[in-house]
Structure 1
Amino acid sequence: MLFDVIIRLLLAVGLISFINANGITTGGVVVSVCVFLILEVSLLCDNKNVCYALTASSFVIAALFSGKPFNGAHFMMLVMFGGFAIISLILYEKMMKYKKLLNMTRDDSKELEKMLEEKNKRLMSEQDQQVHLATLAERNRIAREIHDNVGHLLSRGILLLGAIATVNKDEKLKPQLDMLAGTLDESMEKMRSSVHDLHDDSIDLKKNLEDIISELKNYEVTTDLDLDEEFDIKIKLSLIGILKEAVTNIIKHSNGDSVSIILQRNYSFCSLSVTDNGNVPDDEKDRILAGNIDGIGLQNILNRARSLGGDAYFYTDEGFTVFARLPLEH
């Protein structure tokens, strides 16, 4: 809008100078005011054709009332002002068109960014769901083994004890047999309670990490995993998800041949480092150094770490390193 106002103002100054080129008269002043008003009114028109018609009419009025004689110099001046007006209006229309396209591009970019963020959330949710399903399967397997093995042995013992108590004629043994029967019944109840109380803490972190590491079949892998102490369920899920993303990134993008995986645990935090010796392009190094993480997998690693109050870092000094630091709850 400001650019359009400036164009109209410059045209008004030029046409007024053209009208009063032979001297300032009362008629020239009146015509100059009319031309100025016509040009400013054209700014208020939403219809482009009306706007262009009013602009053109100001040139016609200036040409008719510019005074005589209407020589070649006057004609050339009028042509110059007309050319300036046409070129300015064309450039203004182009600028508005590109501005509109830029706004549309920004809107589309925001929409795509929002869609990508939602897809990342769904992807992380699906990965967590896969881990959860694996946990449920492991829980059911343990419960089934306890039920089939220990449960059957206890049931058989209870039945045998019942049969012995039935045929027993020695009254002195009856209290001991009753005590033994009570103990077996209590054991059966506790076993059933333990089977039903199995929960997500039964996730085998070591097995899950080893399963993910086994995907690196074409790499020489060295590991140093501190798994002596138990981790919280949230930390387990996050470590499994981060390692999965890092290994997937190596398989897809790394041209190296060796991978180092280190999991360390301190009193207040644990850290997971995954390094491969592949070459990282210079432009990718610059983007990572600038903090521009555009990969879905790397962004998921960041989101997982930060969701627990931790953080993740990416280094390209020697190959490519994913370093995640997660706080521990005490």
Structure 2
Amino acid sequence: METTTGAPDQDWSAGAPPLSRYIQRTVRWARDFDLRRPWVWDLLVTLFWTGAALTDAAGGWRTTARDPDVPVWLVVTTSLALSVPLFWRRRRPLTALGVMAAAAAVGYGSGAFLQAAYLQMILVFDIALRLPPRTLVWPLALALPPLVIGAVRFPKESWDQLIVPTMWAYAMVALLGIAVRARRDHNAALVERAHRLEVERDQQARLATVAERTRIAREMHDIIGHNLSVITGLADGGAYAAAKSPERAAQALTAIGDTSRQALAELRRLLGVLSADSDDVDASEADRAPQPTLADLDALVDGVRAAGLPVRLDVHAAPEPLPLSAGRQLTVYRVVQEALTNTLKHARGAAPSAEVVLTYNRQALDVRVTDTGDGTGGDGERTGGGQGLSGMRERTALYDGTLETGPLPTGGWQVRLRLALEDTPS
């Protein structure tokens, strides 16, 4: 028996008129009940048509019979043989049709010409509905011989009146089964497509959530990591200068306060975007707050210098460079910020320093950040499994750029970023 897949937990009749919803629910309930207990429906169908066949065998068969003197016991037996096999119409349709065709041959050959022979059309419909199309050859081969036997035994009527109309009826029933099957398969395909679309929608939502979490984690790492490194450098310098130069210590404390307030402002902006209340004024203002650009590199370098790391910034721009998008400028800013933060945390040696060289023309933007650390203690930490290096690579990959990091032959560390401009092929 064939089973079909569907969506029993979904109500596809939503929005339909009340009568249509009631009919669809009833049909769905009957279909589900039939899938759970198919023998009940088969038994009801068999009992109904068996009763109809026996009613006809009680005497009505003589109105169409060619030989009214056929024994009643033969008529009853043939009627049962034409109706009882309906119980196996879905499990063994070809076998049941073979039994009914043999009974029909007996009926036509004896001259009874029982109307119960037309019950074979039910088997033809089920075969067209459930079995492969090539199987329809068998109903034709089984239904034709009884008609030929009747035409040969009782040739009073022409073949056009006996064989041709019946075979046309069988063909129409087969076409009806094929049409119902095509419609059912089409509906099943639509339901399956709807399910796939729901799964894809949920997957896209999960992927978007993961991507957003990654972006937020990257932004918070860049903001917190850089500012805490600057604050740590300022605090160490202030503690060292407290005993000898109270004025320098006071300057360090002031710089710590400014850096902390800047970090809090950036975090408030980032968290304001995540606010669930879209009507919140602070959240909307935070969403409109500008992101860092190339113009903010000077302030970034000044903050690192205040933390105790000498930094030199050189910008080499073409006379008329193409403008960079806000996303590319943010990528450059964050990469420089992360590189200088790593220098603050990991550079070793006597009085390390850093240099930022930005080359900007009509083809590409090239950024090179180097430091003069001796590489004895920081290189392994810089290539560890933290968020810094992976965040820089993710930002670079968004704009099809290249990022190179590693130690210099002369000592120290280098981070090099190259981004193509919008109208330049990668």
Please state which band the TM-score falls in when normalised by the shorter chain: 0.3 to 0.5
What TM-score do you get using the length of structure 2 for normalisation?
0.33
Identify the structure with bigger relative contact order (alpha carbons < 8 Å, sequence gap 6+).
Answer: 1
What TM-score do you get using the length of structure 1 for normalisation?
0.41
